[in-house]
C-alpha cells in the first residue's frame, strides 16, 4: 500500500491508545515512555505522508538522546518496576505491552536512522542486521526466563496473575522481528537495498479506533514508497486484521512453533556465534549477557529447535506479495 494511504488508516488512532483504569503510579511510570512513543509515532507519520518534518540535526540529536540518555539509563529500571506492578495489579498489565515497544525499539536505532536520515545512514548491511537480531534474541531469552520465573512465583503464591499472555505476545513479536530481519538481510545483498523493518510505534500497534489495523512491525520499501503492517499472534489469541493494511502470522500455522519465543531462542542456538559476536563493538564488555542468554535458550528449548531459514522461506512470499499487491 502506498505510504500516504497507509498512514491515513492510522491517523484516527493518535492519542487514543491510552489504557483505562490505570493507577497514578502507572501513569507516572509511563509518562517518559509515552512521551518518547509519541515522538516515534510522529516521525513515522511524517515520513509516510512525505510531510515536512524536523531538521536532520534535530532528529539526530533526539535519536541519540533517546538511546543514550533515556533508554540505556532508565529503560531497564522502568521495565523491572512495571513488571512488579503488573504482577499485583491486573489494570497495569496492558502497560507491559506498551513499554515493550521501547525494549524492542532500542535495538532498531540504525533502522530509524536509515528511515529518517537516509543522507547520513546508508542501507543497513547484513552484519548490522545481525546485530539487531542478536539483541532481540537476548531480550527474548531474558523474557523467556521471566516467563519461567512468573510461573514458579504464581505457583508459590497460589495465584493466577494473567501476565503470561502478555509475555507470550512480546515473545511472538520478537520471533516475527527476527524473521522479518532475515527478509531484510536478503535484500541487503542487492545492489540497491530498499527494504526496511521497524517496530510499530504505539499509535500503529494499539490502534484502538480500529483494532483490525493493529501491527507489531512495519516493513517499508523506501524506493517504491509502499508499506505493510505485520502482526504476530500466539496460540491463544486470534485477532482479526484488515488485510489491506496488515499481514497476520500465526505462531502455529505460519511459523510452526510450539510456543512463542522459540524462533528467537533458536536463533541463539543455531545462528549466533559467540566468537564472532565478541568482535562486534556492540557487544564488547557485555559478552556475559550473550552467554547467559545462550544458556537460557538451551534450557528452555531442549530439543525443540526451530529451523529459522525454512520458516523464513515459508512466510517470505506471503509478506512480499502483500507488501506490493495490497
Give tens-digit pLDDT for 192-243: 899 999 999 999 998 655 678 999 999 999 999 999 999 987 544 556 788 9
Percent of the chain residues past pLDDT 90, beyond the cut: 66
pLDDT score, position 84: 92
Comparison of pLDDT for 234 and 32, the residue scoring more: 32
Give the strands of the sheet with 246-250, arranged side by side. Answer: 195-199, 217-221, 226-233, 246-250
pLDDT score, position 234: 57
Mean pLDDT of 55-71: 96
Identify the band that residue 256 occupies on the pLDDT scale cut at 50, 70 and 90: confident
Q: Which three cell numbers stand for residue 99?
A: 513499554
Mean pLDDT of 17-44: 87
Distances (CA, A) of 17 to 13, 20, 228, 238: 7, 9, 20, 20
- The pTM (predicted TM-score) of the whole model is 0.93
Buried b (16+ CB within 10 A) or exposed e, 44-80: bbebbbeeeeeeeeebbebbeebbeebbeeebeebbe
Mean pLDDT of the chain: 89
Let me know the angle formed at the C-alpha of 286 by 281 and 289, rounded to the nearest 5 degrees: 135
pLDDT score, position 282: 76
Comparison of pLDDT for 253 and 236, the residue scoring more: 253
Task: Report, in this order, helix, strand and coil percent for the chain, each rounded to 5.
Answer: 65, 5, 30
pLDDT score, position 14: 54
Of 174-188, 207-221, 280-294, 295-309, minimum mean pLDDT range: 280-294
Amino acid at each position: 500500500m502506498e505510504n500516504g494511504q497507509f498512514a491515513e488508516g492510522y491517523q484516527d488512532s493518535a492519542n487514543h491508545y491510552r489504557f483505562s483504569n490505570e493507577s497514578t503510579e502507572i501513569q507516572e511510570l509511563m509518562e517518559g515512555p509515552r512521551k518518547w512513543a509519541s515522538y516515534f509515532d510522529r516521525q513515522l507519520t511524517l515520513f509516510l505522508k512525505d510531510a515536512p518534518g524536523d531538521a536532520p540535526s534535530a532528529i539526530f540529536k533526539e535519536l541519540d538522546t533517546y538511546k543514550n540518555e533515556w533508554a540505556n539509563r532508565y529503560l531497564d529500571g522502568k521495565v523491572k518496576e512495571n513488571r512488579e506492578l503488573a504482577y499485583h495489579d491486573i489494570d497495569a498489565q496492558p502497560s507491559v505491552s506498551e513499554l515493550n515497544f521501547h525494549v524492542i525499539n532500542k535495538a532498531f536505532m540504525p533502522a530509524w536512522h536509515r528511515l529518517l536520515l537516509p543522507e547520513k545512514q546508508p542501507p543497513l548491511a547484513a552484519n548490522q542486521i545481525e546485530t539487531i537480531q542478536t539483541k532481540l534474541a537476548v531480550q527474548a531469552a531474558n523474557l523467556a526466563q521471566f516467563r519461567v520465573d512468573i510461573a514458579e512465583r504464581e505457583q508459590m503464591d497460589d495465584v493466577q496473575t494473567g501476565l503470561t499472555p502478555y509475555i507470550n505476545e512480546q515473545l511472538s513479536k520478537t520471533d516475527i522481528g527476527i524473521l522479518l530481519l532475515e527478509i531484510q538481510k536478503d535484500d541487503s545483498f542487492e545492489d540497491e537495498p530498499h527494504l526496511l523493518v521497524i517496530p510499530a510505534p504505539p499509535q500503529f500497534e494499539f490502534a484502538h479506533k480500529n483494532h483490525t489495523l493493529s501491527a507489531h512491525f512495519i516493513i517499508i520499501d523506501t524506493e517504491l514508497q509502499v508499506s505493510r503492517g505485520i502482526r504476530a499472534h500466539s496460540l491463544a489469541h486470534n485477532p482479526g486484521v484488515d488485510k489491506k493494511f496488515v499481514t497476520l502470522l500465526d505462531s502455529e500455522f505460519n511459523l510452526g512453533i510450539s510456543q512463542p519465543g522459540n524462533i528467537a531462542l533458536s536463533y541463539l542456538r543455531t545462528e549466533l556465534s559467540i566468537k564472532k559476536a565478541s568482535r562486534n563493538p556492540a557487544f564488547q564488555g557485555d559478552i556475559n549477557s550473550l552467554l547467559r542468554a545462550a544458556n537460557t535458550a538451551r534450557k528452555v528449548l531442549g530439543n525443540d529447535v526451530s529451523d529459522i531459514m525454512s520458516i523464513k522461506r515459508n512466510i517470505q512470499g506471503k509478506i512480499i506479495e502483500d507488501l506490493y499487491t495490497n
